[in-house]
Structure 1
């Protein structure tokens, strides 16, 4: 029993022993009472409602929690503990509204949640009207393609030098992200030039068309400089040395799951993909595109086809994200469950399709 529940006779009994209907009714009545005059309540009264609702809300159904989170997300003064708890829920329908706009969540809380939760939570945070550099650092490092694109397109986002370096690096294989990053007024010139160097000609021309007039001249100058230097096309990997390594392993009888696991744990991308290609029979160019894409699914499918243990598949997921990106435990759990449920015959049909297509 909290100090708050002790102020209302019978409420602690409802919290501890009440039927779900009584708890739901108590949540509804207390919440309605709070929202009647929420903006005018003094801090001590807000704290009182915080204590009352904290004990009851965990017992409310999803619909009630979603409704409560939606209403709380629009208040400048709301029960801080309750808002923080709802924002940390795994159910994104509950957490989402608060992560998108609640002014009650401070920077430390948002950064903590961004480190711990999955892509749905990160995507919701990327839509906030203001994103400080500490938060965008995490969103860009941990976010998937949709999260990173949305963050880069957010005019209220601010990026550190590290954040911009990560953004520009990821834009090398994503034309949509290249345009989103390139049109930002706060993008430093050095990063803009790197961005242009990694972009295809059509994307460069499109970027020159959509930026503000004062930026167009700078882009045209940089493009001319890059053209004069014969800028290399980004994103091309050299798999020849890796293929030699894999061939030597095969000839020595060492081309197996243990070798694959070692390459993945050392983040040796080319050797890992070359080994997977040799073990699965998928062309290395096709496998490179699949593994470096925005989703884990191809890794799960190939792994199930050749009978990999989850430990190896987990290492492959971490390898494809890179050493600087740490996935949330909920994302890894979801991948593990999907891998366990994946039927080998289904995976084999998908791989057969990939082989025929390429």
Structure 2
């Protein structure tokens, strides 16, 4: 039978010093781990209350230790696990990667609110479903795609693979990681071979399984000219889509909803073109929007044309990362909310004035 914990323990610990709280945390954790297989949920809830209380009042290294100890326990205290998963990444990582207590909904919420490092850890988690991997591929960057591509137990949707393929276009390591996945759709493997450099293409051919062998051989035999033609075809399709956007803009049919859709789907070129048209941006500014280290440039453009934060958030999340700083949605939203629309418009007019007319996007 489980050993009961006194109901007034939290009030007793409230006045205890740091060392006493740490000793108590370890003792209560030891007790829980010994009793865990015998506990019913009501009893787990008692441990949850105590461990959660202590976890909020101990140093980071102690929270990291607690996360490591609880990460593999099937009936670990759920609220404590959720707090640890939402902590700094060195605390959260073992829980995000392994804890069976986290639901797909928990994982998606954490991914969207806490950013890249947490998404990388979630991407390494065994047997994650498509709702989670879709969130990671929509909002994650190359580092997240690498983590997810190496996780052979992850369930990735066709659209999720498509978004990862877009990131792989300039990333040979990601090309190889995707090529090693037995669940990569045939059409994506064909595209992968088309975009790969010669050395990488040879390695992809070497690691492709027997199911793909005929496709790999045929693609390699067609040679560089055919592959170049495939790349040119893809570029022409993209250019035609952008031309259609320009026509729609001329008819007054282009709106924020189009920008938001392109952003959610990870279609960078189309999102950039739509944003540039709506803001009448010079080409040089439009090209810098997603790569400039100053994240405020995109905020200013979006504020000037009256976009909502949800659209801005989607655009910011797939910017080409100009640094290794984690995505900070709270800071960026605060900056966006504080921007004065009139000021943003003046900044855009000033930037327009500095650019040659020939560079303006029509």
TM-score, scaled relative to structure 1? 0.67
**Structure 1 contact 95–121 (Cα < 8 Å) conserved:** yes
Does 2:88 match 1:85? no
Deviations 1:330-353 (A, max 9, x none): 8432323466899x9xx99xx9xx
Does 2:323 match 1:335? no
Pairwise CA distance, 1:84: 2.9
Pairwise CA distance, 1:49: 2.6
Greater shift in the superposed pair: 22-31 or 149-158: 22-31
**Which of 92, 97, 111 in structure 2 is aligned with 1:95?**
92
Does 2:221 match 1:231? no
Does 2:134 match 1:137? yes
**Structure 1 contact 183–207 (Cα < 8 Å) conserved:** no
**Structure 1 contact 53–82 (Cα < 8 Å) conserved:** no
CA distance in 1, matches of 2:35, 2:10: 27
CA distance in 2, matches of 1:314, 1:109: 20
- Consecutive unaligned residues of structure 2, counting only runs of 5 or more, are 263-269, 319-326
CA distance in 2, matches of 1:266, 1:217: 37
**Structure 1 contact 122–139 (Cα < 8 Å) conserved:** yes
**Structure 1 contact 80–105 (Cα < 8 Å) conserved:** no
Deviations 1:259-280 (A, max 9, x none): 996874575632323565x54x
Report the RMSD for the aligned CA atoms in angstroms: 4.7
After TM superposition, the structure 1 = structure 2 runs for residues 40-189 of structure 1, keeping only pairs within 5 Å, are 41-44=36-39, 47=44, 48-73=46-71, 75-77=72-74, 79-107=76-104, 109-189=106-186
Q: Which position in structure 1 is the counterpart of 2:33?
A: 38
CA distance in 2, matches of 1:302, 1:106: 34
Pairwise CA distance, 1:29: 1.6
CA distance in 2, matches of 1:7, 1:36: 10
Name the CA shift for 1:88/1:261 in 2 (closer, same or farther; >3 Å).
Answer: same
Does 2:211 match 1:208? no
Does 2:273 match 1:273? no
**Structure 2 contact 25–54 (Cα < 8 Å) conserved:** no
Deviations 1:13-57 (A, max 9, x none): 235xx33x4476245324334326725644328614334323333
SS at match of 2:39: helix
Pairwise CA distance, 1:242: 6.2
**Which of 298, 304, 318 in structure 1 is aligned with 2:314?**
318
Pairwise CA distance, 1:221: 0.9
Greater shift in the superposed pair: 259-268 or 63-72: 259-268
**Structure 1 contact 107–135 (Cα < 8 Å) conserved:** yes
**Structure 2 contact 67–95 (Cα < 8 Å) conserved:** yes
Deviations 1:88-126 (A, max 9, x none): 424333322210222443545434544554222211111
- Consecutive unaligned residues of structure 1, counting only runs of 5 or more, are 323-329
